[in-house]
């Protein structure tokens, strides 16, 4: 486990207070059924052989401990992003996430799906039941976003305006169906779907930023981007900072909490140290996500 800085919560809240930011909306956090989270942590414990790097989980503990930690940081809303790796798993994850959100109203009601015959039906039902955001993980799921079983899902998401956090980039480990070309093709088929590209599309930052200019519903989240951990292997090109500033309304703060190999404070400082101004920071840390989560038509 990574050492956490002294008075981490106080230091985070002071940074927000200094900028007049009311709190953080973290669009990319994970709360999962315990048996699933244990398997996720086991994967990261063994990720070294895959990436050549250690990946210690900084925020282990039970749900209540991690909830207290997030809230102490001034995080006002967060997600319980789950994702299946096989058929027949998504609806069970959705039921668990619904119960979790009911018990913790500051958690954005989250859902997921997998390419299977009834995917469109249960995604529509989940939206009708109050799901505000979905998660899809092309690397872990190992599926083609153009699988015909998903056509109904994309149609429902486009119709409802419900955002989807999509792990579609090649970082940290590429998958068979990751990369911007797969996402571009999806957007050409469903141009008004609302996507939040996880990890800024790492490592294809420029290509995914281009998509924000071409498609009205494309956003990027800052999860793991700009941190020292990521910069060592996938540095964000300095010339693209001007594009970040121009596309400020399409950038959302995310962290991957609790599955990060460094303190939450570092994730926040990595964004603030870009020096793009208080207005940009307020949008990224709070306002953009607040607006996005209020626009779904479901």
Residue-wise pLDDT tens digits, 120-158: 999 999 999 999 999 999 999 999 999 999 999 999 999
Helices within the chain (DSSP H only)? 8-19, 34-45, 48-51, 63-72, 90-103, 119-128, 138-141, 151-160, 180-189, 205-214, 228-231, 241-246, 264-272, 278-282, 288-293
Q: Determine the 3-state secondary structure of 137 from DSSP.
A: strand
- 204-219: average pLDDT: 98
Helices first, then strands: H and E counts in the chain: 15, 9
> Is 80 exceeded by the pLDDT of residue 47?
no
What whole-number distance in Å separates Cα of residue 187 and Cα of residue 208? 12
- 252-257: average pLDDT: 98
pLDDT band at 261 (very low <50, low <70, confident <90, very high): very high
> Is 90 exceeded by the pLDDT of residue 21?
yes
Kindly report the average pLDDT of the chain as a whole number: 95
- 27-40: average pLDDT: 96
Domains defined for the chain, CATH in brackets: 8-293 (3.20.20.140)
- Is it true that the peptide bond before 69 is cis, omega within 30 degrees of 0? no
At residue 1, the pLDDT reads 65
CA angle 31, 37, 40 (to 5 degrees): 120
pLDDT band at 173 (very low <50, low <70, confident <90, very high): confident
Full DSSP string of 226-244: TSHHHHTTSPPPGGGHHHH
What whole-number distance in Å separates Cα of residue 21 and Cα of residue 23? 6
**Does an H or E element contain 221, and which?**
strand 218-221
pLDDT band at 206 (very low <50, low <70, confident <90, very high): very high
What whole-number distance in Å separates Cα of residue 262 and Cα of residue 245? 26
Digit-coded pLDDT (tens) for 280-291: 999 999 999 999
At residue 133, the pLDDT reads 98
In sequence order, which residues have a C-beta less than 8 Å from that of residue 59 and are 6 or more positions away? 66, 69, 257, 258, 260, 264
Which DSSP symbol is given to 203? Answer: T
**Does an H or E element contain 112, and which?**
strand 110-112
Tokens of 243: 């594009």
In sequence order, which residues have a C-beta less than 8 Å from that of residue 90 and are 6 or more positions away? 84, 112, 113, 114, 116, 119, 122
Percent of the chain with pLDDT strictly greater than 70: 97
User: Order of strands across the sheet with 107-108?
Assistant: 24-26, 75-79, 107-108
- 162-168: average pLDDT: 98
CA terminus-to-terminus distance, the chain: 40
Which DSSP symbol is given to 274? Answer: T
At residue 297, the pLDDT reads 45
- 199-214: average pLDDT: 98
> Is 80 exceeded by the pLDDT of residue 296?
no
Digit-coded pLDDT (tens) for 50-101: 667 888 999 999 999 999 999 999 999 999 999 999 999 999 999 999 999 9
């Amino acid at each position: 486990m990574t050492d956490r800085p002294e008075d981490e919560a106080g230091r985070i809240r002071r940074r927000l207070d200094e900028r007049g930011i009311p709190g953080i909306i973290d669009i990319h956090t994970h709360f999962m059924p315990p048996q699933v989270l244990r398997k996720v942590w086991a994967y990261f414990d063994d990720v070294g052989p895959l990436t050549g790097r250690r990946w210690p989980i900084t925020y282990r503990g039970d749900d209540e401990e991690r909830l207290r930690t997030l809230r102490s940081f001034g995080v006002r809303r967060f997600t319980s992003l789950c994702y299946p790796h096989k058929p027949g798993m998504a609806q069970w994850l959705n039921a668990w996430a619904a119960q979790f959100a009911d018990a913790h109203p500051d958690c954005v009601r989250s859902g997921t799906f997998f390419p299977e015959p009834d995917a469109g039906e249960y995604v529509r039902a989940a939206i009708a039941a109050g799901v505000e955001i979905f998660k899809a993980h092309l690397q872990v799921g190992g599926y083609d976003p153009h699988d015909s079983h998903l056509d109904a899902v994309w149609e429902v998401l486009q119709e409802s305006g419900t955002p989807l956090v999509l792990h579609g980039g090649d970082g940290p480990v590429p998958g068979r169906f990751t990369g911007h070309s797969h996402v571009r093709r999806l957007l050409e088929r469903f141009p008004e779907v609302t996507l939040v590209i996880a990890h800024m599309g790492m490592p294809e930052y420029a290509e995914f930023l281009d998509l924000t200019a071409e498609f009205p519903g494309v956003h990027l989240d800052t999860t793991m981007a700009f941190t020292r951990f990521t910069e060592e292997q996938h540095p964000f090109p300095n010339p693209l900072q001007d594009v970040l500033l121009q596309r400020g309304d399409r950038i959302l703060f995310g962290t991957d909490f609790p599955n990060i190999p460094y303190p939450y404070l570092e994730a926040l400082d990595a964004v603030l140290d870009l020096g793009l101004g208080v207005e940009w920071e307020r949008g990224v840390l709070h306002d953009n996500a607040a607006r996005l989560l209020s626009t779904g038509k479901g």
